Structure 1
Amino acid sequence: MSISVAFVDDHPILLEGLVSLYSGKSDLNIVAKGENAVDALKIVEEHSPHVLVLDLSMPGDTVAAIEVIAQKYQGTRIIVFTANSSIETAIQVLNQGVAGYVLKGSSASDLHQAIRTVYDGDTFITAGFATKVIMAMKTAELRRRKQAQQRLSLREEQIVRHLMRGSTNREIARCLDISEKTVKHYMTLLMQKLDVRNRLEVVLAAQRLDVLPDGTVDRGRIN
């Protein structure tokens, strides 16, 4: 079975070159071509190609078109074929559902491989550039996980609020109607979660997270 492919690019010579080059591939069937974001949407609606190869820098809102296609026409896999080597842009469109990101300047065999790869359900990113994108995505994910881990529960917030007033463990336990042992347990959790060493650092770290109301800390009572 041949893979149906459509190309969309606003550079006529490049577009004709792509169509001519890949029309000669026995495993590909070029079903349509276009020049802008609107064309991309129309092509997917009318031809439902297995793979849509499109540039990012075209007339119209290409990123919005990608988002619509990825959400509504999941039978079409999208390859961005672009000169844009911005890691942030690559991550953005990959998160929106793009299956391939191929830099212009890649070889004809690279784009052919990308078409076959995304058709098979995998992701393809230009070699070399892929390493940078993957590392950036991993770094962003680790940052998100760390931020999620640092979010305070309701009980933890209550305890930190009392710490800000200079309350002792016994006073916190009495106010929250829990045992001192439970307060100590929460203090241990807070220090681990916020990666700090003592009660004062718990308060300062929690304030940096911006999860507490404005207030002053009575440092003389925190020890």
Structure 2
Amino acid sequence: MLRGLVSVFEDYAEYEVIATAVTADDALEIVKLQAPDVIFLDLSMPGDVFGTIKSIASGHPQTKVIIYTAFSSTESAVKAMDMGAIGFVLKGGPMAELTEALRSAVSSDLYISRQFASSVLTGLRERSKRREINDAVRLNLREKQIVAHLFEAQTNKEIARHLNLSEKTIKHYMSSLMQKLKARNRVEVVIAARRQQEAQSPSATQ
């Protein structure tokens, strides 16, 4: 398979294969020493392939990573893209996809095998939504309790009575909530908290 891959690009004068590797560690070493414009990796090659993709993308951004693999798992493709791969080509598809992926990578454009593109792009969108939710402001238990009372339009004094806390303590939590939610007053706290609650509801991720 490796020899076949090399022969594909030997037919094109504009491309030069400068090195080949069998393991993920060897591939990373090639990138460090020779800084190729593009490198093809197989998810089934020995070593930590996903870790190698991440290392190349973060430490050697001049080298674009294309995955060429028999693994038609949407989860694997999304993870590879998440680590920094810019292309994902399935083995068994038209060989022209390899050169198309290469041209796209050189232009810093994303490329995914056509028969696989729809499911992968959907997976990337879902991953993005989940990340947005995970990155949302996290409230502690007491702050959530106070927000619940704010939803009922209760005053600081009423909230303090219900939670058996001093009004001063409630004011302290209110200041913390305004800071966390980037709100200027209790009304904006309620609006921001409601928005966050809706974003984290199961229906928001479907």
TM-score of the pair, normalised by structure 2: 0.72
Task: Judge conservation of contact 1:41–1:65 (CA < 8 Å) in 2.
Answer: yes
1:61 aligns with 2:48: yes
1:131 corresponds to which of 110, 115, 118: 118
Give the letter aligned to residue 75 of structure 1.
Q
- Aligned residue for 2:26? 39
Question: Which stretches in structure 1 are left out of the alignment for 5+ residues?
Answer: 1-13, 196-204, 207-223
Paired with 1:95 and 1:101, the residues of 2 have a C-alpha distance of 12
1:16 aligns with 2:3: yes
SS at structure 2 position matched to 1:39: helix
SS at structure 2 position matched to 1:32: coil
Q: Greater share of strand residues, 1 or 2?
A: 1
Q: How far is 1:126 from its partner?
A: 0.8
Deviation per CA, 1:80-121: give whole Å up to 9, x if none: 100111111111111111111111112111101101110111
Paired with 2:51 and 2:18, the residues of 1 have a C-alpha distance of 23
- Aligned residue for 1:5? none
Largest Rg, 1 or 2: 1
SS at structure 1 position matched to 2:43: coil
2:128 corresponds to which of 120, 141, 144: 141
SS at structure 1 position matched to 2:57: helix
1:95 aligns with 2:102: no
Paired with 1:185 and 1:66, the residues of 2 have a C-alpha distance of 42
Give the letter aligned to residue 75 of structure 2.
E
1:107 aligns with 2:94: yes
1:122 aligns with 2:109: yes
Larger CA deviation: 141-150 vs 102-111: 141-150
Q: Evaluate the alpha carbon distance shift between residue 144 and residue 53 of structure 1 in structure 2; reply closer, same or farther with a 3 A threshold.
A: closer
Report percent identity of matched pairs: 35
Q: Greater share of helix residues, 1 or 2?
A: 2
2:197 corresponds to which of 182, 194, 199: 194
Question: Which stretches in structure 2 are left out of the alignment for 5+ residues?
Answer: 161-165, 175-184, 202-206
Paired with 1:48 and 1:82, the residues of 2 have a C-alpha distance of 22
- Aligned residue for 1:30? 17
- Aligned residue for 2:180? none
Larger CA deviation: 136-145 vs 28-37: 136-145
- Aligned residue for 2:179? none
Q: Evaluate the alpha carbon distance shift between residue 183 and residue 89 of structure 1 in structure 2; reply closer, same or farther with a 3 A threshold.
A: same
Task: Judge conservation of contact 1:156–1:186 (CA < 8 Å) in 2.
Answer: no
- Aligned residue for 1:198? none
- Aligned residue for 1:215? none
Paired with 1:150 and 1:140, the residues of 2 have a C-alpha distance of 18
Deviation per CA, 1:33-85: give whole Å up to 9, x if none: 12111221222122211110121111222222222222221111111100111
Number of residue-to-residue matches in the alignment: 179
Paired with 1:151 and 1:101, the residues of 2 have a C-alpha distance of 35
SS at structure 2 position matched to 1:30: coil
Paired with 1:188 and 1:108, the residues of 2 have a C-alpha distance of 53
Paired with 1:184 and 1:75, the residues of 2 have a C-alpha distance of 48
SS at structure 2 position matched to 1:80: strand
Paired with 1:46 and 1:147, the residues of 2 have a C-alpha distance of 37
TM-score of the pair, normalised by structure 1: 0.67
